[in-house]
Chain A
């Protein structure tokens, strides 16, 4: 048997303060609760902590409410829907006033402008490359920009379309170079033929597009002449004919489009070679071959008619015909 010592004599398992005289020291500490005013409103009994009930169970209402709040859909609605609606409501209230809307718009546009007008984004001048002096004057005229201008306000596509719309411009590329330069690269149309119409004389390029008006044929004697309705749409054929007629040298006056259907090659001495609708170059080459062998075109021939390929026809001049007739008469008379 173990000796009784102090340790064992101690009272074990004392968990809470003793009840009895010692306990008064504890209860004295709970002063404010004891020193309650004698006069108090009745509602406090309901609202205060004194009305705490011993039953921890939730009431049916709070139980149902909590279950309702724990439903996933409701939770989602509270977490996302309610803040969203509140933000929407606040925004709606804020923007309901015209003054505030305007203030916000001005604020936003101020910021936009301050960013757009930074020197990094400004374009100071326009450089035109590949155009002659007259054309570049025209380009500056049709693109009325007052520099410096912000590159945000500059519609490069529209500028390019405007420049491409000019007659002498074949193609144009417009871009903003670093350093604030609006670079316009232009390829000019080169005139290849002179087109004489009833309205005047025009220069056309190889696609038939109008390049410039001309005061007089003598201004560009180096270019071949074409005439006739619709000749501008078949400049390529005309050029081919002119190339084929190169052998005739300076006898060639030009080509004329007849009935917007076929070509006539006009030479000096009012000679005319009427070419068919189909394969006019080959027909011309036939005439030239005949001419070379038999000096056809050197003779007194008014028209070489190649319109029917099976039956080439020539028409002589009036003087030649009369000569021909008198010679026959004479011959016949002599013969008889």
Chain B
């Protein structure tokens, strides 16, 4: 427990160092591609002259000066499955981004989607010592949360205070400085498999980089794909990636639930590959250019050349109608969406006041997906693209980059987490001198 606390604090320290240096790299380790952006921080964001939030939605404190993406190798279901390959892919992306930025980057903030994220809701309540909510009191109440038994071999990735309540006033975002008797907190905690984190950390260490933060990609793609009022009123972001489909639910600008379905666009591709008997690369191309989930009558006559290189003329001249292709793709997409529906139901999404659903991620670009999704998930479905940030190249503005862009926002303005607050003194085993001083203060 203290271990995570210390390592996360160390990462926060790294992030501060990176901020001082002004340059940090963003690494989105996905199953189909690894995206790397290099950010330059140039002062705090300023509002425009007329005090409106401006076209950049207030995200003006940083600028993307380098961007590169490479095909991911050795990552399956959002987890590292082949270390060497992943390391090489990270190196490729990072080198290209560095070259574009023309500056050396030493600090990396990474995100990944897999590793079985699991959400826990925690709460705690403490009596305030001198009726004033201070930072130390917040640390104390956060520390008073009773941790569930999340199992061995798992690590806490996020632990964010979602809601504070002072006496009987709830819904406080920042209770510091207020007066009251008891302070209660609701905290959202996300745990993932420790091995997956260790693997990614190890890969990044082998690239001579310092890890300045790590995040779950469901969370960060929610930050960038949901607009502000959706985050405020409640919405679910479904990031359909290559190997996984991540689900995150936001409410009052906080993530309150995250989960991950271990199916994604790669599975659709492999279905096509198996169903048509073509290589994966061809299947991917067919899916990208002519895929869809909603067949019309014209699709029967739309013949797609699926080709081949065997030298057998009959084999190499095969064609398939678009309707057939859709017939292969649709059940898999439906299955993914059904699975997402099940996760949303388990999270109690249908009790939310606003049930907006935003589809993003590379696999959300399948034609007609919003129609299919609205039949499965609910009426209010839209396709989401990442927020605009300064200097982002046009090629990185598609929905496949929403987690990378979200990670930029996360790097610039991280939300408070449990480890941003000091653990109260009496829970520290080490600091006996501080405890002695506190004892003196209390008794004299």
Give me the interface of A with B, judged by CB distance under 8 Å: 1-2, 4, 8-9, 11-16, 18-21, 55-58, 60, 63-64, 66-68, 70-72
Contacts of B92 in A (CB 8 A): 56-58
Contacts of B103 in A (CB 8 A): 70, 72
Q: Judging by beta carbons under 8 Å apart, are A57 and B88 in contact?
A: yes
Q: Judging by beta carbons under 8 Å apart, are B307 and A18 in contact?
A: yes
Chain B interface, >50% SS class: mixed
* A58 to B104 alpha-carbon distance, docked (Å): 16
Q: Judging by beta carbons under 8 Å apart, are B91 and A11 in contact?
A: no
Beyond known contacts A8-B298, A8-B301, A18-B316: 15 more, CB 8 A cutoff: A12-B302, A12-B305, A13-B304, A13-B305, A15-B285, A15-B289, A19-B307, A19-B308, A19-B309, A20-B313, A55-B88, A63-B207, A66-B95, A67-B98, A70-B104
8 A-B interface contacts by CB (under 8 A)? A2-B298, A12-B302, A12-B303, A13-B289, A16-B307, A19-B311, A57-B91, A63-B95
Q: Is B99 an interface residue (CB 8 A)?
A: yes
Contacts of B313 in A (CB 8 A): 20-21
* A67 to B208 alpha-carbon distance, docked (Å): 10
Q: Judging by beta carbons under 8 Å apart, are B98 and A66 in contact?
A: yes
Q: Is B407 an interface residue (CB 8 A)?
A: no
Q: How far is the CB of B311 from chain A (nearest CB, A)?
A: 7
Contacts of B310 in A (CB 8 A): 19
* A67 to B286 alpha-carbon distance, docked (Å): 38
Count of A-B contacts judged by CB separation below 8 Å: 70
* A21 to B289 alpha-carbon distance, docked (Å): 25
Contacts of B290 in A (CB 8 A): 12-13
Q: Judging by beta carbons under 8 Å apart, are A1 and B297 in contact?
A: yes
Q: Judging by beta carbons under 8 Å apart, are B317 and A66 in contact?
A: no
Contacts of A18 in B (CB 8 A): 305, 307, 316-317
Q: Which 5 A-B pairs have the closest CB atoms?
A: A57-B88, A70-B104, A57-B92, A20-B316, A19-B316
Contacts of B70 in A (CB 8 A): 56
Q: Judging by beta carbons under 8 Å apart, are A70 and B98 in contact?
A: yes
Q: Is B240 an interface residue (CB 8 A)?
A: no
Q: How far is the CB of A75 from chain B (nearest CB, A)?
A: 8
Contacts of A21 in B (CB 8 A): 313
| Residue with the greatest number of chain B CB neighbours at <10 A, chosen from A9, A16, A57, A71 | A57
* A9 to B289 alpha-carbon distance, docked (Å): 18
Q: Judging by beta carbons under 8 Å apart, are A4 and B301 in contact?
A: yes
* Chain B residue at minimal CB-CB distance from A66: B95
Q: Judging by beta carbons under 8 Å apart, are A12 and B304 in contact?
A: yes
Given contacts A2-B298, A12-B304, contact A20 B317 (CB under 8 A): yes
Given contacts A18-B316, A64-B208, A66-B99, contact A58 B308 (CB under 8 A): no
* A4 to B301 alpha-carbon distance, docked (Å): 8
Q: Judging by beta carbons under 8 Å apart, are B303 and A20 in contact?
A: no
Q: Is B102 an interface residue (CB 8 A)?
A: yes
Contacts of B197 in A (CB 8 A): none
Q: How far is the CB of A9 from chain B (nearest CB, A)?
A: 8
Q: How far is the CB of B316 from chain A (nearest CB, A)?
A: 5
Q: How far is the CB of B301 from chain A (nearest CB, A)?
A: 5
Q: Is B89 an interface residue (CB 8 A)?
A: yes
| Residue with the greatest number of chain B CB neighbours at <10 A, chosen from A8, A60, A67 | A67
Contacts of B308 in A (CB 8 A): 19
* A21 to B285 alpha-carbon distance, docked (Å): 23
Contacts of B91 in A (CB 8 A): 57-58, 60, 63
Q: Judging by beta carbons under 8 Å apart, are B311 and A20 in contact?
A: yes
Contacts of B89 in A (CB 8 A): 57
* A91 to B313 alpha-carbon distance, docked (Å): 72
* Chain B residue at minimal CB-CB distance from A71: B104
* A8 to B301 alpha-carbon distance, docked (Å): 7
* Chain B residue at minimal CB-CB distance from A17: B307
Q: Judging by beta carbons under 8 Å apart, are B305 and A14 in contact?
A: yes
* Chain A residue at minimal CB-CB distance from B303: A11
8 A Cβ contacts from B155-211 to A: 207-208
Q: Is B131 an interface residue (CB 8 A)?
A: no
Q: Judging by beta carbons under 8 Å apart, are A72 and B104 in contact?
A: yes
Contacts of A2 in B (CB 8 A): 298
Q: Is B319 an interface residue (CB 8 A)?
A: yes
Q: Judging by beta carbons under 8 Å apart, are A67 and B104 in contact?
A: yes
* A11 to B95 alpha-carbon distance, docked (Å): 41
8 A Cβ contacts from B74-128 to A: 88-89, 91-92, 95, 98-99, 102-104
Q: How far is the CB of A17 from chain B (nearest CB, A)?
A: 10
Contacts of A67 in B (CB 8 A): 95, 98, 104, 208
Q: How far is the CB of B113 from chain A (nearest CB, A)?
A: 22
* Chain A residue at minimal CB-CB distance from B300: A1
* A51 to B267 alpha-carbon distance, docked (Å): 34
